[in-house]
DNA sequence: GAGTTTGAAACT
DNA sequence: CAGTTTCAAACTC
């Protein structure tokens, strides 16, 4: 144990320093995060040393890195710890319940290893930690901080519910008490804690303290997207009034299977629906502090309201407190958060001023609109003409760049990975760096980068971020959508603040979360920090290149997603050729990489699910571990 | 609390 | 892919 502590101490000393987390605690976090048994955890110590641990664990690292990047800072004093890597839209419960599971839970070595290695490879960024702690310093009380922290995760986990009103937390005094206590009944915390409340709030939209209303499914067994719990990636819990519910830890396999099935239809079915674009302004514009405009958040798929005029909660946009956008097919939109038509007008104006001719989009037939939008990274920042990359006459090319090779993958935040196939080349172990690598012949990324400031780069990067992350092997493997998901898991944009250009080695953030505790400015630091860990994340992914990425013959196909307007992330054009040469892509070392973002933290039945007593859970776990 | 309305999800 | 059905939440009374 002490050894692990030391290791973690090494891995993230800053975490302990900045966030008042003892290495012990950090270690606990890891343990609980991995849901490992003591013995498992013990063995992890050694695995931890073996950073060459391969394969899928590397995918997990993405997520687990998130966890490590966030947890220590975010959950410092609380007993709330996080994550076990999982699939897209993992059960939110797992965030919360990880701690309790840590003592008796079962976890695959994979997961544990992943987390372990993550802790050693990705948590070396002092700045990263600092960023987060900085962010939390803004919160006056520890409890408040916790709230925000929880929201941060929860936000990304549950469709950016706070899009418009940043953090609107719903925490009962009791909950607060529990949360400030280090040794309270965690199950209590979890079942009544902020995370749950936050979610319940979504469901109930109550402001009177009743935050416990949840689903009420009768026929779907809570295994369809009709079920809000299921859709949000959490298990049903006590407050639910569902009947014949299968969305419970006991039925984990069923749940996973169902999710897999649904994801096979629509890989991004569990991705956040609300896109909170990060609107990065060039430095000159940043001073207004208006980097993020909540009002610019949009529903990815858009609503389809006919009668409610987007003024009732029938409307998903309205319900999420976001305005309607061009992607909506609503009629008579009067969305108080932003009418569709206003959106169009604004957008057009923005486009005009930005020389990005997109006004025609509005006149296009729907399909084209979608395509256009999907290809337009700006699309997601409708009300904030932010990403008007500083010119130098490059806008046109940039916009062209961004609009060509995109994938009309509606639901995805991420989608647009034009999964450029690059033959797995020697040097292109960078192939992890994936996708957006480009050869100079096709895209002079250097000049491209020169044309945009770092901030613009960040903005672009951010545009690429809002994506759920695939990750849970158990979900990924064998899933029809697994490839796409793997891709998404690997996608990232990596920016090197020093060179102010796109480079390999980067960090992970949850950009799908509206409340990311990381500022772009801090990104700077963070990235620097991560640079030192270059061998970390970057390398980590190296060996786990999904076949799809290795397969050069693979045609570029958009991930099929059921909805017409997902957030698009538009990689530079000609992506299909980008990786085609091992020597081509960004030889200069600048890489243009999509960065995946987990829609929410990992799955695994953790929460005190409805009707599942500790006993039953323990039995369940016991059975699993026996398996 | 029952019944109705609504629009997303699922199905054909 | 469009049309239809099913579903559960939102809403109304």
CA distance A280 to A387: 6
- Cβ atoms of A100 and A35 within 8 Å: the answer is no
Task: List the domain range (segments joined by +) for residue A513.
Answer: 274-578
* Per-residue pLDDT, A298: 79
CA of A225 to C1' of C2 (A): 21
Residue A523 and residue A84 in contact, taking contact as beta carbons nearer than 8 Å: no
Residues A248 and A284 in one domain: no
Residues 6+ apart with CB under 8 A from A453: A282, A283, A389, A390, A500
Which nucleotide lies closest to A273 by the C1' atom and the CA atom?
B8
Each residue of A603-627: pLDDT tens digit?
Answer: 443 344 444 444 444 443 444 444 4
Same domain, A297 and A169: no
Domain tally for chain A? Answer: 2
Ramachandran class of A367: left when φ > 0, alpha when ψ lies in -120 to 50, beta otherwise: alpha
Q: Report the nucleotide nearest the CA of residue A315, measured to C1'.
A: B7
Assess whether A256 and A285 both reside in one domain: no
Distance CA A352, CA A515 (A): 30
Distance CA A498, CA A311 (A): 47
- Contact residues for strand C with beta carbon within 7 Å: A 203-205, 214-220, 224, 226-228, 312-314, 319, 367
Pair A281, A240 in one domain: no
Residues A163 and A309 occupy one common structural domain: no
A394-398: average pLDDT:
37
The model's pLDDT over A302-332, given as tens digits with 9 standing for 90+, comes to: 899 999 999 999 999 988 888 888 888 898 8
Asked if A304 and A261 sit in the same domain, the reply is no
CA of A303 and C1' of B11: distance in angstroms? 20
Q: How far apart are CA A566 and CA A585, in angstroms?
A: 28
Same domain, A82 and A108: yes
pLDDT of A222 reads 92
**Residues A535, A525: Cα–Cα separation, whole Å:** 17
The reply to whether A588 falls in a domain is: no
Question: Which nucleotide is at minimal CA–C1' distance from A214?
Answer: C9
Q: CA-to-CA distance for A65 and A99, rounded, in angstroms?
A: 17
* Residue A554 counted as domain residue: yes
Distance CA A29, CA A68 (A): 9
Distance CA A89, CA A109 (A): 22
Map A325-339 to HEC letters: CCCCCCCCCCCCCCC
Estimate in Å the CA A524 to C1' C6 gap, whole number: 50
Residues in chain A: 627
Q: A493, A465, A135, A455: which is closest to A276 by C-alpha?
A: A465
- pLDDT at site A225: 92
**Could you say which residues 343-402 of protein chain A have a Cβ atom less than 7 A away from any atom in strand B?**
none
How far, in Å, CA of A279 to CA of A295, rounded? 11
**Nearest residue to B6 (CA, C1')?**
A314
Is the distance from CB of A555 to CB of A403 less than 8 angstroms?
no
| Cβ-based contacts (< 7 Å) between A 299-338 and strand B | 301, 303-309, 312, 314-316
A331: the nucleotide nearest its CA (via C1') is: B7
The string of pLDDT tens digits covering residues A69-112 is 333 333 333 333 333 333 444 455 544 444 344 333 333 333 33
* pLDDT, greater one: A547 or A226: A226
Span CA (A417) to C1' (C5), Å: 34
Nucleotide nearest to A225 (CA to C1'): B9
Q: How far is the CA of A468 from the C1' of C10 (A)?
A: 28
Query: Quick one: A428 and A509 in the same domain?
Result: yes
**pLDDT of res. A354:** 62
CA-to-C1' span, A308 to B4 (A): 14
Q: Are residues A110 and A186 in the same domain?
A: yes
Q: What is the mean pLDDT of residues A15-34?
A: 37
CA distance A238 to A42: 34
Q: Which nucleotide is nearest to A560 (CA to C1')?
A: C1
Residue lying closest to nucleotide C7, CA to C1' = A226
Same domain flag for A190 and A70: yes
pLDDT for the residue numbered A214: 78
Predicted confidence band at A278 (pLDDT cuts at 50, 70, 90)?
Answer: low
Residue A223, pLDDT score: 92
Of A382, A526, A33, A428, give the one whose Cα is nearest residue A420. A428
A213 touches strand B (CB under 7 A): no
Q: How far apart, in Å, are the Cα atoms of A237 and each of A110, A220, A241, A249, A521?
A: 28, 16, 9, 10, 39
pLDDT tens digits, residue range A353-382?
Answer: 765 444 444 433 343 344 434 434 334 333
Q: Nearest nt (C1') to A243 (CA)?
A: C8
Is A595 part of any domain? no
Angle at the Cα of A166 (from A165 to A171), degrees rounded to 5? 90
Question: Does the CB of A218 sit below 7 A from strand B?
Answer: no
**In whole angstroms, what is the distance from residue A123 CA to residue A128 CA?**
8
Q: Which residue, A176, A129, A126, A128, is CA-closest to A148?
A: A176
Q: Is the CB of A266 under 7 A from strand B?
A: yes
Nucleic acid strand B: bases within 7 A of protein CB: 5-10
Cα dist. A392→A387, A389, A397, A451, A453 in Å? 14, 9, 10, 6, 11
The alpha carbon torsion through A596, A602, A603, A604 (nearest 10 deg) reads 160
Task: Estimate in Å the CA A269 to C1' B2 gap, whole number.
Answer: 33
User: What whole-number distance in Å separates Cα of residue A275 and Cα of residue A529?
Assistant: 28
CB-proximal positions of chain C, under 7 Å: 1, 6-11
**For residue A24, how many other CB atoms are within 10 A of its CB?**
15
Q: Is residue A70 part of a domain?
A: yes
| pLDDT for residue A607 | 44
* 3-state SS assignment for residue A237: strand
C-beta neighbour count of A498 within 10 angstroms:
12
More confident residue, A76 or A352: A352
Concatenated DSSP letters of A420-469: ------SGGGGGGTGGG--BTTT--HHHHHHTS-HHHHHHHHHHTT----
In a domain, A592, yes or no: no
Rounded Cα distance between A140 and A395, Å, is 42
Residues A511-545 have pLDDT tens digits of: 433 333 333 334 443 333 333 333 333 333 333 33
Nucleotide nearest to A227 (CA to C1'): C8
Are A440 and A338 found together in one domain? yes
Asked whether A517 and A149 are in contact (CB, 8 A), the reply is yes
Q: Which nucleotide is nearest to A258 (CA to C1')?
A: B10
CA dihedral A550, A552, A555, A556 (to 10 degrees): 60
pLDDT digits (tens, 9 = 90+) for A119-158: 333 333 333 333 433 333 333 333 333 333 333 333 344 4
Q: Determine contact, residues A383/A296, Cβ cutoff 8 Å.
A: yes
3-state secondary structure of A311: coil
CA of A57 to C1' of C7 (A): 38
With vertex at residue A295, the alpha carbon angle to CA A291 and CA A296, rounded to the nearest 5 degrees, is 70
Same domain, A338 and A458: yes
Bridge partners of residue A298, in order along the sequence: A275, A323
CA distance linking residue A362 with residue A332, whole number of Å: 16
Positive or negative: CA dihedral A607, A199, A379, A559: positive
Q: What separation in angstroms does the CA of A523 have from each of A127, A291, A309, A396, A520?
A: 8, 13, 40, 27, 5
């Amino acid at each position: 144990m002490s050894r692990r502590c030391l290791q973690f101490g090494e891995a993230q000393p800053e975490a302990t320093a900045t966030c008042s987390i003892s290495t012990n605690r950090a270690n606990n976090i890891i343990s609980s995060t991995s849901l490992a048994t003591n013995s498992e955890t013990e063995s992890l110590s050694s695995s931890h040393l073996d950073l060459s641990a391969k394969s899928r664990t590397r995918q997990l690292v993405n997520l687990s890195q998130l966890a490590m990047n966030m947890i220590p800072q975010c959950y410092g004093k609380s007993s709330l710890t996080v994550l076990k890597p999982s699939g897209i839209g993992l059960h939110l419960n797992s965030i919360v319940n990880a701690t309790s599971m840590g003592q008796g839970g079962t976890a695959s070595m994979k997961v544990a290893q992943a987390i372990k290695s993550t802790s050693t490879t990705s948590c070396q960024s002092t700045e990263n930690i600092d960023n987060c702690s900085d962010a939390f310093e803004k919160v006056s009380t520890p409890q408040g901080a916790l709230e925000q922290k929880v929201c941060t995760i929860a936000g990304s986990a549950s469709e950016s519910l706070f899009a418009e009103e940043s953090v609107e937390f719903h925490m009962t005094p009791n909950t607060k008490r529990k949360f400030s206590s280090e040794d309270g009944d965690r199950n209590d915390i979890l079942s009544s804690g902020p995370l749950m409340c936050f979610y319940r709030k979504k469901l109930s939209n109550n402001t009177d303290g009743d935050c416990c209303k949840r689903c009420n499914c009768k026929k779907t067994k809570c295994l369809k997207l009709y079920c809000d719990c299921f859709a949000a990636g959490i298990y049903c819990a006590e407050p639910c009034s569902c009947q014949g519910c299968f969305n419970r830890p006991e039925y984990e396999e069923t749940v996973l299977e169902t999710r897999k099935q649904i994801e096979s239809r629509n890989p991004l079915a569990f991705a956040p629906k609300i896109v909170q674009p990060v609107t990065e302004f060039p430095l000159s514009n940043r001073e207004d502090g208006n980097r993020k405009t909540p009002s610019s958040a949009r529903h990815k798929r858009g609503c389809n309201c006919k009668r409610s005029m987007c003024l009732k909660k029938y409307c998903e946009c309205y319900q999420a407190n976001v305005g309607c956008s061009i992607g909506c097919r609503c009629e008579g939109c009067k969305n108080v958060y932003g009418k569709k038509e206003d959106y169009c007008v604004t957008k057009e104006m923005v486009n005009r001023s930005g020389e990005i001719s997109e006004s025609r989009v509005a006149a296009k037939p729907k399909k084209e609109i979608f395509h256009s939008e999907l290809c337009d990274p700006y699309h997601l920042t409708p009300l904030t003409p932010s990403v008007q990359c500083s010119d130098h006459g490059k806008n046109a090319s940039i916009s062209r760049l961004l609009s060509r090779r995109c994938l009309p993958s509606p639901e995805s935040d991420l989608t647009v990975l034009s999964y450029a196939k690059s033959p797995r080349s020697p040097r292109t172990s960078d192939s992890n760096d994936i996708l957006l690598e480009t050869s100079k012949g096709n895209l002079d990324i250097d000049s491209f980068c020169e044309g945009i400031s770092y901030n613009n780069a960040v903005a672009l990067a951010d545009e690429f971020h809002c994506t759920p992350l695939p990750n849970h092997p158990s979900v990924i493997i064998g899933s029809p959508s697994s490839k796409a998901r793997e891709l998404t898991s690997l996608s990232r944009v990596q920016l090197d603040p020093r060179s102010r250009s796109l480079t390999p080695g980067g960090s992970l953030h949850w950009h799908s979360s509206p409340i990311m505790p990381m500022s772009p400015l801090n990104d700077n630091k963070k990235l620097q920090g991560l640079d030192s860990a270059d061998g970390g994340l970057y390398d980590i992914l190296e060996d786990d290149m999904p076949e799809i990425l290795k397969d050069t013959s693979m045609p570029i196909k958009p991930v099929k997603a059921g909805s017409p307007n997902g957030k698009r992330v538009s990689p530079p054009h000609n992506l299909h050729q980008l990786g085609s040469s091992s020597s081509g892509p960004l030889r200069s070392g600048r890489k243009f990489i999509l960065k995946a973002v987990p829609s929410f933290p990992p799955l695994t039945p953790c929460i005190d699910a409805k009707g599942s007593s500790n006993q039953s859970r323990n039995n369940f776990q016991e059975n699993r571990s026996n398996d």
